[in-house]
Amino acid sequence: MHKLRRDSRHFQRQLELSPQDRRRLGTPSALPEEREWERGGVLESGSLRGCAVGAQAGGGGAEGGPKEWRETERAGLVRACAKRGYDRGASEGRGFQDGGPEVPSSSRAPVGTGVTAGMEYLERCAWLLRATLVRAVVRRHLSWALLALMLGGSLVKELFPLPPSYLSNKRNVFNVYFVKVAWGWTFILLLPFVALTNYHLTGKATVVLRRLCILLVGTAIWYVGTTIFLHVEHYTGSCYKSPSLESIQREYNSKEECRKGGGFWHGFDISGHSFLLTYCALVIVEEMAVLQEVKMDRSHNLYFTLTSLIVALGCLVYIWVWMFLCTAVYFHDLSQKVFGTLFGLVGWYGTYRFWYLKPISPGLPPQSSSLNLKQDSYKK
């Protein structure tokens, strides 16, 4: 300890010498530590004295310096730098390079911490969504879970009606900006996700184009399903003066004419929400199964893009399931929701559990040979 204090006092006396005195006494005009810090951009021109003490106190000096000097910050030597006004440059962390003095975390400016924290939060969300959605048990039982939600919500609507709420209003933000265009959201997010993941695993553009055909198939299912629902409502409906269905206005033969005439069209309205939300949620979960094979670290160029897509698709699945439950609780009759849900299940089962298993099809998400084939997992 006495030796450390003696070395510290000797070092400070050397720093107090002017360059002329150093040359006269045979001491180098600039100590090696000072030259190193000057190259790092911390010390101002001609101002090497007090800051060198503060830098030594904060970071332990250049390579080979005494390790005990890391403790001198708490002993008070760093105050010498503050008294001479040079602590500002060091506290801003300007020009510190590898091997140079380290600025205490309490003084260093938080450069880039916002971006890093945001990325870590995004990674945690992606990890949580992958842990809950990218599992074989979820793919096997999600269809049954949706069917149970539809039946349970319908029973609540019939036996224990809930009071009106924001979600029971058709103008709520989720219904207007998400559910009404559910296939549009699913299409837009699945397009880059399927392309990136499939190309990352196979490296073949032909495989990517083939797999992207699932979006064309999904668009066809959406169009055919909604068209059928409109025709069913048209051929089974009539125009009434009011929602109470008191008297029929036979002069109107279509839903459009009835509405223009101020009437109310009533027919068998199969739930398009139940159909589309069921199909979209199941398709996303099926396509996210490819993440079991994707291995990518932060250094990859597509890491941030893929992580963002995982979070977006995972959140979309939860929104679809939640709004599916709200549809079951607040809207449509039981039979209308049953038919809508069954249409969605048939569209999903007919593709992912039957057609996509055939050679002439868009196929399933790629799987590595080290794991069981997805076809086998479906048969279990």
| 181 neighbors 250 (Cβ within 8 angstroms) | no
Q: Which residues contact 259 (CB under 8 A, 6 or more apart)?
A: 265
Q: Which helix (H) or strand (E) holds 125?
A: helix 113-133
| 304 neighbors 159 (Cβ within 8 angstroms) | no
β-strand pairing of 238-240 with 264-266: antiparallel
296 closest CA partner among 286, 285, 288, 306: 306
Rg (CA), the chain: 34
Is residue 300 part of the annotated active site? The answer reads no
218 closest CA partner among 186, 192, 189, 194: 186
Rounded Cα distance between 307 and 103, Å, is: 33
64 Ramachandran zone, left/alpha/beta (phi>0; psi -120 to 50): left
Rounded Cα distance between 16 and 112, Å, is: 38
Q: Give the CB-side neighbour count of residue 373, counting CA atoms within 13 A.
A: 6
Rounded Cα distance between 304 and 315, Å, is: 17
| 288 neighbors 313 (Cβ within 8 angstroms) | yes
Rounded Cα distance between 70 and 53, Å, is: 11
| 134 neighbors 313 (Cβ within 8 angstroms) | no
Rounded Cα distance between 106 and 86, Å, is: 17
Set 10, 141, 273, 300: catalytic member: 273
Q: Which residues contact 301 (CB under 8 A, 6 or more apart)?
A: none
Which residues of 143-301 form beta strands (DSSP E)? 238-240, 264-266
Set 2, 200, 266, 332: catalytic member: 332
List the Cα angle 89/90/95 in 5-degree steps: 85
Rounded Cα distance between 271 and 326, Å, is: 12
Is residue 231 part of the annotated active site? The answer reads no
Which residues have a catalytic role annotated? Answer: 273, 332
